[in-house]
Amino acid sequence: MMALQRINSLLVLLLLTLLGLGLGQPSFNPDRMYQRFLRQHVDPRETGGNDSYCNLMMQRRKMTSYQCKRFNTFIHEDIWNIRSICSTANIQCKNGQMNCHEGVVKVTDCKETGGSRAPNCRYRAAASTRRVVIACEGNPEVPVHFDK
């Protein structure tokens, strides 16, 4: 009985040590977040979209597979121009973090019209040149989240 208590104590101690080292928690991976950002928000070949553009791109970029993503923005700039936004002054993100940066880029905002069902979601497009805020992480810093 005493040996069983000792083993349990050692297992609990081992578990706490692993959690303290972060091995029991999912790790933040800036590269995976960067790839997701590219898939969801970057389309350098276009200069501005219409409703058909949004309907096609939202489906093609896998944002309508299970449910209709209500709103998404595509940035129509070279990735190096977008990455250069990460070198501007830090500003506060919507979540309170201080890893956001802002810049002016060409975009197409796609807003779900309502009433459509996945995977055949329908969107209304609005093309413009406007200020955007993106979160950046890593070394070197890369965009990982479109904030607004």
Q: Is 37 exposed, middle or buried (0-12, 13-18, 19+ CB in 10 A)?
A: buried
Torsion of CA 24, 34, 133, 28, to 10 degrees: 10
Domains and CATH numbers, the chain: 30-146 (3.10.130.10)
Tokens of 27: 């790790």
pLDDT averaged over consecutive 10-residue blocks of the chain (148 residues)?
Answer: 51 41 49 96 87 95 95 96 96 95 97 92 96 95 94
pLDDT of residue 115: 85
Query: Which residues participate in catalysis according to the annotation?
Result: 41, 145
